[in-house]
Amino acid sequence: MKKSLLIIVLSYFLFVPIAFASTNTFPRTEENYLVPSDVQVTDVNKMDILKTPAVDSSEKLYDFADLFTDQEEADIYQKMYDFMGISQYDVAIVTTKDMNGFIIGDYTNNFYDYNSFKDEGVIFTIYLGGIDPQIYMGVNGLPESEIRKIYTDARTRQTLEYVYKGIKAGNYFLATDNFVKILKGFYEIDHEKSYVIDDRGNVVKDIPWTEIIILATALSFIIVFLLVNRLKKYNVVKYSDNIESKLDSNSISITTEKDELVDRVLSKAK
Amino acid sequence: MYQEDEHNSYGIASRKFHCRDCNANFLSLGSKVVEHCCVCNSANIESVNDVFEKKPFIVPFKKSLEDAKNDYRSKVLFHPLVPFVFKSKATIESIHKVYLPVFVVDATVEGNIDFLAGDKTNIMKEKVQFVETKKYSVLQKVRLNFRNIILNLTSKIQDKLFHTVCDYQFDSILDFEPSLLEDSSVLVADKDIKEVAESGRNRIMKHSLNIAKSNIQHALKKLNANEASVNFSNSKEVLVPVYLLLIRYKDKEYVYLMNGESGVVSSELVFGMTEIILFSLAMFGLIFLIAFLIAYYL
């Protein structure tokens, strides 16, 4: 009994696939389209649904193009997970070399819509099947929702422009990593976390340099001033003469021989 | 009573040195190699001659050179604004074990002292306020005995600095023994005896006048005439132990002086502008870093 339990436990750790690195897809059929319950299958979208990969929506990172090592996948997944924890938005990242005949925008949106992701979320696709790589960022949510206000078209364009430099250079991990950072950065900008976008498009902390310099200057001046004054007092040599201790107290003899009034003056007080 | 020719009388063989930089004269006994002046640590010294002098009394060292170095280190090492030259190993190593020649005398102050004294009182007369000042002539007959007054015989140590550390216990005074001078130097007395005596008298008289003055029962008091005199007795020449360090910094001299018997210290320190600037920059850097980290992570 104990032996079989041990084998089950070991099997779990040895053979359970890593949660964040998956290329598993499930076959869609006309009997089972594998779409979320709110998606209505019609003649118009039926073919699109069938051509869209069906995935486990909990996996979040779908590296069909095999761009990342296991370690990189773990790293990216951790950051995605952190971001999802902060924002409560869903995030999916897809890499592929085959878009099943879709253009990248349709492929990305269908991927998000026809799998069971949250109503509000962001999906990022890297396509490497053409001459040049292509990337796309889809934002899902109602038009007036918060997520739409955070990831505006302008910010989406700005993000893609920045990330594309890395993709073009073949730094897929770095570019994807930056993408997640920027997602988080935009979210934090809009939640008063003091972030700004620098000249190169990076989302960076808005450090109040002027205030820090003023604070450091003022405080260091005050500290040095107080220290100098305190140490000045400490440094002054306290000269003393111990002659008093040399006086033989038994020998003190002072007698008043005379104490006479010699004059008396009365004057008006001022 | 001491005589002027009693100076430098140690009664044993010794070597006398003269420092060309600070003009100090000092003696060294035994085979100890003397390379530096015991006052200013200059190597610019010359051996003048051998002297054979009469022996005085001596108060032996009770504090070790290491005690003096440790005390000095504790005063300067972690003091961020003290110039680096004060903290250098060479400076600390140049603390010298020195015997200073002094006269120890008993003194008696005796005589009449005349004071002018007075009291002021406010008086109201017909709704007008007046001040009544009464003046008195107060004559006091004084007799005070002082024991073991120390008179500094060397000009190389300022009196006011020396008096600050001067709490020697003369109960344990010993006859001169050459072995007590191992590893130490003896500064040669170079002050004029009459001036030393006069300075001692003034010091004692000043203190005596204060005592007499405090004995007057009036609010205002002023010395009118002083017929009291200070007489010395039981004088003896004694070598007293000190640890001495003289540091030259920006054309000024700063002295660290420790009583070699009791460990009482008087030290003159100064702030260095370079050190203040460096410390300010370090403080600025530290505060800047902390503020930056707070701004970055919060």
Q: Name the nearest CA neighbour of A68 among A86, A80, A56, A53.
A: A80
Which residue of B82, B114, B140 to mutate against A (max A Cβ within 10 Å)?
B140
Which tokens go with A176? 């994807």
Mean pLDDT over the full length of chain A? 84
Interchain contact B64–A (C-beta under 8 A): no
Tell me how far apart the alpha carbons of residues B168 and B235 are, in angstroms, rounded to a whole number.
16
Name the residue among A109, A11, A93 with its Cα closest to residue A59.
Answer: A93
pLDDT at A251: 86
In the predicted structure, residue A5 carries a pLDDT above the cut 60: no
Interface of B with A in 112-151 (CB under 8 A): 112, 117, 122-123, 128-149
Is residue A258 within 8 A of residue B139, CB to CB? The reply is yes
Question: A14 CA to chain B: closest CA distance, Å?
Answer: 38
- What b/e readout covers A60-87, taking b as 16+ CB neighbours within 10 angstroms? bbbbbbebbeeebbbbbbebbbebbeeb
Q: Do B135 and A238 touch (CB under 8 A)?
A: no
The size of chain B, in residues, is: 298
Pairs of CB atoms within 8 A across A/B = 162
| pTM: predicted TM-score of the whole model, two decimal places | 0.60
Q: Which residues pair with B136 in a beta bridge?
A: A261, B117
ipTM of the complex: 0.73
pLDDT bin (cut points 50, 70, 90) of residue B3 is: very low
Checking if the pLDDT of B176 tops 90, the result is no
- By CB atoms closer than 10 A (0-12, 13-18, 19+), residue B81 is buried
> Is the Cβ pair A254, B81 closer than 8 Å?
no
Domain boundaries, chain B: 56-267, 271-298
End-to-end CA distance of chain A: 112
Whole-angstrom CA distances from A245 to B111, B168, B197, B203 are 22, 11, 19, 13
Q: Taking residues B167-191, what's their average pLDDT?
A: 82
Q: With a CB-CB cutoff of 8 Å, which residues 201-220 of chain A face chain B?
A: 205, 207-208, 212-213, 215-217, 219-220
User: Rounded to whole angstroms, how far apart are CA atoms A134 and A96?
Assistant: 10
The predicted structure's pLDDT at residue A139 = 94
State the Cα torsion A56-A61-A63-A67 to the nearest 10°: -170
Across the range B159-167, mean pLDDT stands at 88
Inter-residue contact B51 to B8 (CB < 8 Å): yes
pLDDT tops 50 at residue A1: no
What is the pLDDT confidence band of residue B16, given thresholds at 50, 70 and 90? confident
First to last CA, chain B: 80
Query: Using CA atoms, how far apart are residues A130 and A136, in angstroms rounded to an integer?
Result: 14
Model pLDDT, residue A202: 60
pLDDT attached to residue A89 = 93
Arithmetic mean of pLDDT, A146-164: 89
User: Which residues, listed in sequence order, are joined to residue A140 by a DSSP beta bridge?
Assistant: A121
Q: Which residues contact B11 (CB under 8 A, 6 or more apart)?
A: B52, B53, B54, B55, B176
What's the pLDDT tens digit per position in A246-256? 888 888 899 99
Helix (H, G, I), strand (E, B) or coil at A241: coil
Q: Which residues of B143-171 are buried (b: 16+ CB within 10 A; e: fewer)?
A: ebbbebbbbbbbbbbbbebbbbbbebeee
Closest by CA position to B147, among listed B191, B202, B109, B113: B109
Angstrom distance (rounded) from CA A209 to CA B184? 59
Which pLDDT band holds residue B33 (cuts at 50, 70, 90)?
A: confident
Contact: B271, A252; criterion CB under 8 Å: no
Task: Note whether A86 contacts B: Cβ–Cβ < 8 A.
Answer: no
> CB-based contact (8 Å) between B52 and chain A?
no
CB contact under 8 A, B271 and A269: no
C-alpha distances out from residue A233 to A197, A222, B266, B268, Å: 51, 17, 14, 12
Cβ distance B295 to A245 less than 8 Å, yes or no, reads: no
Sign, CA torsion A51/A55/A57/A62: negative
Shortest CA gap A101–chain B (Å): 46
Report the run of H or E that residue B47 belongs to, with start and end: strand B45-52
pLDDT above 70 coverage of chain A, percent: 85
Q: What is the domain partition of chain A in residue ranges?
A: 19-205
B112 pLDDT tier (thresholds 50, 70, 90) = very high
Return the pLDDT at A13.
43
Check pLDDT > 90 for residue A175. yes
Fold for the domain defined by A19-205: Diaminopimelate Epimerase; Chain A, domain 1 (3.10.310)
Least confident of A35-49, A55-69, B175-189: B175-189
C-alpha–C-alpha distance, residues A146 and A37, integer Å: 24
The two beta strands, A195-197 and A203-205, are: antiparallel
Which of B145, B166, B296 minimises the CB distance to A242? B166
CB contact (8 A) between residue A212 and residue B166: no
